[in-house]
Structure 1
Amino acid sequence: MARLTAPAGVTVPTAAIGRLTALEELDISYLSVSVESESGSEWNLPEVTRFVLPDAFGDLVALRKLVADGTDVVFPDSAHGLAAVEEVSMTGGSHYFLRTFPEAVTTFPNLRRLDLSGNYFDTVPDSLLRLTRLEELDLGDSLGLLRDPLPDLGRLPALRVLGFGGESRRTGTPLPSHDFLRELFAMELPGLEELRISRWQRNTKRLKLKPEHFTGIGTFRRLRIVDLRFNQLNDLPADFDTLPDLAVANLYGNLFPGAVRDRITAAHPTAQIDFE
């Protein structure tokens, strides 16, 4: 398997990368630079330099996996529609992150895994719904600055795994509203098998999470794995008990009384449930 990783501090790739037509994996992580603004930007977020890929990037017809964590990539038009790409990771953090959703990735027709966690998007565009083969999507900790409703993820017919964390990775930035949970559980996601929806707990910026915020989870009938850690919930809605195939439930960091634990355990006697 042909693989290329950019060393830290090295500005690659150049136009010569187009010669690597057999390249299958490319890692260009952490090539952006965080620049604190003297005047102060919105939410005190630093500016992040952009990394412009050369036009020759479109010649990587065998590229299957792109990892660009901590890199604000500008894709050339030649990259649109790359058919071999199946996996993209563009995660962020407290110092290196994306402010704009990378719509170029929605042109990759065979994309199956997309990790955009830890960023600061103001919108998630409807173009995401072009990815009809997408199986795994992680938007965790990227929802705090969203201004618009999410697109209907139920229109991603292959979606099996969803990351939907409710944290922010930079102190002082807003946390996502619980309204996004209501949006999510109003969607029809019949193929969803794994749901990671941790860290929506109350703090000084957000009210206490209530069981009704999760009402609708029982409609995700194929759920096998759920991660509901650190939500400080004192109960779960009744439809959680009706999930027929639940195998693993991570419920650590909640406040369930004994009676609720007993009810959940009785409803899912064969599941591995972690309350502690």
Structure 2
Amino acid sequence: MSRFKRADKVDSLAGFRAVTTEPTIPSGLLKAARKSGQLNLSGRGLTEVPQTVYRLNIDTPEEAQQNVSFGDSDRWWEQTDLTKLLLSSNQLVQLSDDIRLLCGLTTVDLHDNQLSSLPSALGELHDLQQLRLSHNQLSSLPVELCMLKNLCILTLQQNLLESLPEELGHLQNLTELDLSNNHLKALPPSLGHLTCLQKLNLCHNKLSCLPDSVGQLINVKMLDCSNNQLTEIPASLSQMLALEQLYFRHNKLHGFPKLSAPMLKDLCVGNNHIEQLEAEQLACLTSISLLELRDNKIKALPEQMTLLTSLTRLDLTNNDISTLPASLSLLPNLKVLLLEGNPLRGIKRDVLTKGTNELLKYLRGRIKEEPARADEGHTAMTLPSQATVNVHDLKTLKMLVYSDRQASDIPDELFDAAADHSVTTVNFSKNQLTSIPPRLVEIQSSVSDISLGFNRLTCCSDICKFLQLTHVDLRNNQLSDLPSEMKGLTKLRSIILNYNRFKSFPQVLYQIVSLETVLLGNNQVSGVDPGLLMKLVHLTTLDLSNNDLLNIPPELGLCSSLRCLSLEGNPFRTPRAAIVAKGTDAVLEYLRSRIPT
């Protein structure tokens, strides 16, 4: 008898478990989905998709079986096919083949789950236009996925993909493809068949080369191949005439890319092994606004840099440049020139620390031609210097400039004029500002570069609202601390804080992992935490010169990403001045040798 009781007990538990495995979805949500054609199940902790979802457009709803009296708005037989299914941020480990039952779907969002594979039935969703699969555990894609002829957007970033099916080229209506943060070592030649593609993100993979067919992507405007293992770029890239943004940061390129890109505005090839710039390569960059060449091995700049008449930002940080051509000062729109970490000769350090305007003025003075004549030429291309709003800068370059006016506030007409433009760069340097202008936050959504140097700022809390910020210049102010909310600036890559009143390394900077450049020279910093500094894995330039450092912690030598460490002008005894003079590599090696074993 006891044996039978035991068996009954086991059976009843099994039945109980079976009942609870099927997650329930509120009937009101399903009812609303039948009317709207949209069902949002994001963030519900689902481990599987309930059958009631797959059969939403097939099964008769429960209320129809209980009550035959319906109002005009409740006629279940007039339901709308489900077109949008959102299942993001759950715990789904698999997707059933029953997904084919929802044949009217145009959008499926499965990002942030635990999917390791996809059902082949996805290929039967012929109306699908958007498929979001980022932040999963996919190691491969079913070939059937490539049969989705109407697919426009496919996002697969943050997965485990090692290869892609050759049939990928069948997705001929694709306009956006994100394959970043995977384990891809090669791309299928059929990639070139995606001729409608406008945005292609391949960063953070293991690519050693790109297929020649990439040149067939004649409509691509943004191509990001950063953080790969590319040693060269195919010549066919010059056929991509629609390119506006091109990123090849953190690769192994030895040569500057050969391009024919009349629309290109942003070109970033920092952290490579480029040694030389050639005039004919620059001549093609007629629209270039941002040129990033930092952390390479460039030894000289050609005189033909003057061809880059649209250039507003030139980043040459951490190269081997010893001299600058004076003609660089003739670039009519150059507003930011970064040169930290170069062995420049013949230019005093105080000129370099005073900012771009002073440096360009110095270079203009070295031109044999009378400087006034060059100034007149520049003025003829823009509005008169006394004008409040520089319309050319605002409309063409997306720059809001009110610099060197010694003003205590910024006129409202500047912000009124900027309201209808997606301003990316703000320059309010060399004024008498004691706080960040309140109206500046009106354009926070688009601004990526702010210069507020040479003012009287004691606080900069509003800077935390600029979430797109990549560069900020706060040199020569009266700052003694930074707000903790700055940790939200996840895109910030460089910050200039020279000539302020910092007595310690700002704690919030340790939390901004995107930082590549931190300039804190000529303050009163008395210490730095190497343990926290090591977490800044992208930090290549750190200027702590002319501070109050009494000792340099040996563990600082473990910050292996540093390529330029400036420590001169501090009262420490070790490392000796002779070692400091040998440069960053010698200092880091010395510090590592002093770490206790």
Give the superposition deviation at 1:259: 4.5
Name the CA shift for 1:16/1:99 in 2 (closer, same or farther; >3 Å): same
What is the aligned length?
Answer: 232
Structure 1 residue aligned with 2:242: 191
The worse-fitting range, judged by mean Cα deviation, of 131-140 and 237-246 is 237-246
Alignment of 1:220-235 (within 5 A): 220-231=261-272
1:54-69 aligned within 5 A: 54-59=120-125, 61-69=127-135
* Cα distance in 1 for residues equivalent to 2:216 and 2:154: 20
- Structure 1 residues 272 and 250 mapped into 2: Cα distance closer, same or farther (>3 Å)? farther
Please state if 1:75 is matched with 2:142: yes
1:33-76 residue CA offsets vs partner (Å, 9 max, x unmatched)? xxxxxxxxxxxxxxxxx403241552251332333344234325
Q: Does the 8 A contact of 2:166 with 2:189 survive in 1?
A: no
The match for 2:196 among 133, 142, 146 is 133
Contact 1:29 1:67 in 2 (8 A): yes
Mapped to 2, the partners of 1:25 and 1:274 lie a distance apart of 45
Q: Deviations over 1:198-244 (max 9, x none)?
A: 0126xxxxxxx54xx01523x22221112233336565333454311
Query: Is residue 156 from structure 1 mapped to residue 220 from structure 2 by the alignment?
Result: no
Whichever of the two has the greater Rg, that structure is: 2
Q: Is the 8 A contact 1:246 1:271 kept in 2?
A: no
* Partner of residue 99, structure 2: 17
2:150 pairs with one of 75, 78, 84: 84
Distance across 2 between alignment mates of 1:103 and 1:265 = 50
Q: What is the CA-CA distance between 1:5 and the residue it aligns to?
A: 2.4
1:13 Cα deviation after fit: 2.5
Contact 1:162 1:194 in 2 (8 A): yes
**Structure 2 CA distance for partners of 1:62 and 1:119, relative to 1, 3 Å:** closer
Matches within 5 A, 1:80-229: 80-92=146-158, 96-144=159-207, 150-167=211-228, 176-178=229-231, 180-181=232-233, 183-184=234-235, 187-200=238-251, 210=254, 213-217=255-259, 219-229=260-270
Offset, 1:107: 1.7
Distance 2:181 2:222 in 1: 17
Q: Report the 3-state secondary structure (helix = DSSP H, G, I; strand = E; otherwise coil) of the residue aligned with 1:80.
A: helix
Pair 1:27-2:110 in alignment: yes
Task: List per-residue Cα deviations over 1:5-44 (Å, max 9, x = no partner).
Answer: 2444323422332333234132244525xxxxxxxxxxxx
User: Which of the pair has the greater relative contact order for Cα pairs under 8 Å at 6+ separation?
Assistant: 1
The residue type equivalent to 2:131 in the other structure is K
Write the deviation string for residues 113-138 of structure 1: whole angstroms up to 9, x where unpaired.
11112333343221111111111112
| Alignment partners' CA distance in 2, 1:58 and 1:166 | 35
Distance in 1 (alpha carbons) for counterparts of 2:328 and 2:205:
30
Q: In structure 2, how many angstroms separate the alpha carbons of the residues matched to 1:134 and 1:230?
A: 27
Whether the aligned pair in 2 keeps the contact of 1:6 and 1:12 (CA below 8 Å) is: no
Q: Counterparts of 1:215 and 1:86 in 2: how far apart (Å)? A: 29
- 1:188 partner amino acid: Q
- Normalising to structure 2: TM-score of the pair? 0.34
Query: In structure 2, do the counterparts of structure 1 residues 72 and 241 end up closer, same or farther at CA, with 3 Å as the change threshold?
Result: same
1:142 maps to a residue whose letter is N
Q: Cα distance 1:8–1:259, how it changes in 2: closer, same or farther (>3 A)?
A: farther
Letter in 2 for 1:220: A
- Within 2, Cα distance between the matches of 1:140 and 1:12? 27
Report the alpha carbon displacement of residue 88 of structure 1 after superposing the two structures with TM: 1.2
Q: Structure 1 residues 97 and 58 mapped into 2: Cα distance closer, same or farther (>3 Å)? A: same
Q: Which runs of 4+ in 1 moved over 6 A?
A: none
Looking at structure 2, the residues matched to 156 and 55 of structure 1 have their Cα atoms a distance apart, in angstroms, of 29
Structure 1 unaligned blocks of 5 or more: 33-49, 168-175, 202-208
Q: Which amino acid aligns with 1:15?
A: D
Deviation at 1:264, TM superposition (A): 5.8
* Matches of 2:328 and 2:162, distance apart in 1: 40
Change in Cα spacing, 1:59 to 1:110, as seen in structure 2 (3 Å) is: same
RMSD value, Cα: 3.2
How much does 1:190 deviate? 1.8
CA distance in 1, matches of 2:118, 2:191: 22
User: Do residues 51 (structure 1) and 92 (structure 2) align?
Assistant: no
Query: 2:164 & 2:89 partners in 1: Cα distance?
Result: 25
| 8 Å CA contact retained: 2:256, 2:274 | no
Matched-pair contact (CA < 8 Å) for 1:214–1:236: yes
Structure 1 vs Structure 2: percent identity of aligned residues? 16
Tell me the distance in 2 between the aligned counterparts of 1:197 and 1:68: 22
Name the aligned partner's letter for residue 153 of structure 1: V
1:98 to partner: Cα distance: 1.1
Distance 1:145 1:226, change over 3 A: closer
Q: What secondary structure, in the 3-state scheme, does the structure 2 residue paired with 1:111 have?
A: coil
Compute the displacement of 1:99 (Å). 1.1
Q: Structure 2 stretches of 5 or more lacking a match?
A: 1-37, 39-83, 296-316, 339-493, 495-597
> Distance in 1 between the 2:326 and 2:236 partners?
25
2:411 paired residue number: none
Q: CA deviation at 1:265?
A: 6.7
What is the distance in 1 between the residues matched to 2:166 and 2:182? 14
